[in-house]
Chains A and B, each alone.
Chain A
Amino acid sequence: MLLEVRGLTKFFGGLAAVHELDMHIDTGEIVGLIGPNGAGKTTFFNLITGVMRASKGKVIFEGEEISEKKSHQVAELGIARTFQLNPLFGDFTVLQNVSASFHLHPRSRLWDIYFNTVVYRRNEAYILEHALEILHLVGLENVKDELAKNLPHGYQKMLGIARALAIRPRLLLLDEPIAGMSSDEIDFILTAIQKIHQQGVTLLVVEHNMRILDLCERVLVISFGRKIAEGSPKEVRKNKEVIEAYFGDAYVA
């Protein structure tokens, strides 16, 4: 088991954004996470990655409890993420966005960086090479010298994924990776996601789009912070409670 979540709860005032959530992800899976707006999906991501502290419950990654860890410590353990609203280093070029994200592997000591030692130059050469590889994978190598803020939306989303790959994740959390993309771009990114998966990265994807859910072996549905269903994409689609949560009980056949 790669990631295990036990009784995870987060209160915002009196509102339970995530309530007693249990789940697990095995190594090598692609797991989908869906739910209506405000169901707590993004909060769930923020709890796992240490952006927020949980009110209750445990997150265990590879046998180590990470619920108390900070964002950068979670990243060190190998959990990468993208963001729904996709903030990025806007004033950096695309290539700089990715190479700045190579902070952990290889990691240079301050001393080496400041005095530009052989170790540091070797690391930077490695970073340049691998950053270009990642940009090739997500199809951004042609715009590598553009400022990130000038990119169209679809490219910015892909840049988010490229940046997350730079930390060499074992678990990659994607928050709506294809929202607002054209169908060509969706085709491209689905291929990229499959390639990333083949490289041995486990994925947890928040998305509403059915095309991405068909990649998933398992889909979790949450509503008002609670897990209401779990199963293969087909099973979930037929589940009464899921239909009710999305469309109201009038649509339940």
Chain B
Amino acid sequence: MKRDKKVPSATALSSHIEKRIWEKAALYTGVVIIVALLPVFLRSIYVMHVLILTFIYVVAAVSLRTITISGQFPLAHAGFMGIGAYCAGMTSKWLGWPPWITIPTAGLVTMGIGMLMGYPFSRLRALYYAMGSLFFGIGVMQIIQAGGIWTGGYSGLIGISPLFPVTTAKIYYYYFFLGLTLVSIVALYRFEFCRIGMNLKAIAQSHLVASSVGINESWYRILVVGVGCFFVGMAGAGYAHYNQVLSPASFNFLATLWLVMYVLIGGIGSFAGPIIGTFILILIPEFFRDLRMYSPFISAAILGIVVYLMPQGLASIPQLVRTRVTERRNGKR
């Protein structure tokens, strides 16, 4: 088939998004190049460690936001990360599977569990959904804590094989997690800005109208939970092989709340929001390391300021500036 002017790429759906596509592509490429070159300038192993953790949490936060575009707000996301992490950790420790098998497997298992949870919960909406998923997340971690020797219980799971058997150099981990994060981000971006994401956003705006035009609400809501869980499961699995030690406390409700904070501070309405939010909230407390015991307060202060000054999150700053500039200009006329 000829590719003539009659074949646009989903422009009927997302015309307003694709306007400044080259400008954006250049910006993103620039950011990726800078992040990829960071290890050259920062020789500190500690900084690299923090950045690796940031990459992992970026995947978690972005996948959490992807679920929310369907109007569902799950409060079990760290729990799902834990499912992925423990799945990889246990298959690695007890079955001796190599990381390149455990990581995708953990993604699929988390996806399956997420969809099983999504099935009954797809009847719940708004607060009830959030509450249901909250208890699910707490329940999952309780089960893992009660797992005895198999999960390591309260004291945690040790003896998970490292990602790279021959080297412990952080630089390899850095590029591995950068790659994993980029792939996940691109995959989730495409998911949101095609007709699938459009259907999800339609469901979020009015489930009545969406089903009246033939969109299967329950199926799409289950699907998006599955997709979000797949990526957060892989992130958790990567974390397991990076840390080599797992503790249930890393995936409790507080961890979920942190992910929610990343999303909210960055801006739930924009794709870049959770990425920006995660970097800001992990890196800023690092500048105040001497005040580490106060870091929850610093984060809370950031959240307060952001919510007060820019309810759409940090990602909305360019938009705010643009509006302000236009207003100024029009005011002078």
Write the residues of chain A forming the contact surface with B, with a CB cutoff of 8 angstroms. 49, 51, 70-72, 75-76, 80-81, 83, 87-93, 95-96, 99-101, 103-104, 108, 110, 113-114, 116, 118, 120-122, 124-125, 127-128, 131, 145, 163-164, 166-167
Contact = CB atoms under 8 A, between A and B. Distances in A.
A127 B198 CA distance: 14
B190 to A, nearest CB: 6
B77 to A, nearest CB: 23
Contact of B213 (A51, A93, A104, A114): A104
B205 A91 contact: yes
Contacts of A96: 12-13, 198
B194 A116 contact: yes
Contact of B209 (A108, A122, A163): A163
A157 to B, nearest CB: 13
B199 interface: yes
Contact of B191 (A103, A114, A122): A114
A121 B199 contact: no
A71 B211 contact: yes
A131 to B, nearest CB: 6
Interface in B295-324: none
Given A110-B196, A122-B1, A75 B9 contact: no
B212 interface: yes
Given A93-B16, A99-B13, A110-B196, A104 B214 contact: yes
B194 A113 contact: yes
A142 B216 CA distance: 31
A114 B190 contact: yes
B284 interface: no
A72 B12 contact: no
Contact of B212 (A80, A121, A125): A80
Contacts of B208: 51, 71, 83, 87
B196 A121 contact: no
Interface size range of chain B in the complex: 20 to 34
B93 interface: no
B212 A71 contact: yes
Interface of B: 1, 6-13, 15-16, 190-191, 194-196, 198-199, 201-202, 205-206, 208-209, 211-217, 223
10 contacts: A49-B212, A75-B213, A76-B214, A87-B209, A93-B15, A100-B199, A103-B214, A116-B10, A163-B213, A167-B213
Contact of A100 (B9, B11, B190, B202): B202
Contacts of B214: 72, 75-76, 103-104, 167
B13 to A, nearest CB: 6
Nearest to A166: B213
A47 B1 CA distance: 45
Contacts of A88: 205-206, 209
Nearest to A105: B214
Nearest to B218: A70
Nearest to B190: A114
A138 to B, nearest CB: 15
Contacts of A145: 15-16
Most buried by B among A72, A93, A104: A72
Return the 8 tightest CB-CB contacts between A and B, nearest first: A71-B211, A75-B214, A128-B12, A101-B213, A87-B206, A104-B214, A99-B12, A89-B205
B189 to A, nearest CB: 11
Nearest to B219: A72
Contacts of A51: 208, 211
Contacts of A131: 12
Given A75-B214, A118-B7, 18 more contacts: A80-B212, A83-B208, A83-B209, A83-B212, A87-B208, A87-B209, A88-B205, A89-B201, A99-B12, A100-B199, A100-B202, A101-B213, A103-B215, A122-B7, A124-B8, A124-B10, A124-B12, A167-B213
A114 B196 contact: yes
A100 B199 CA distance: 7
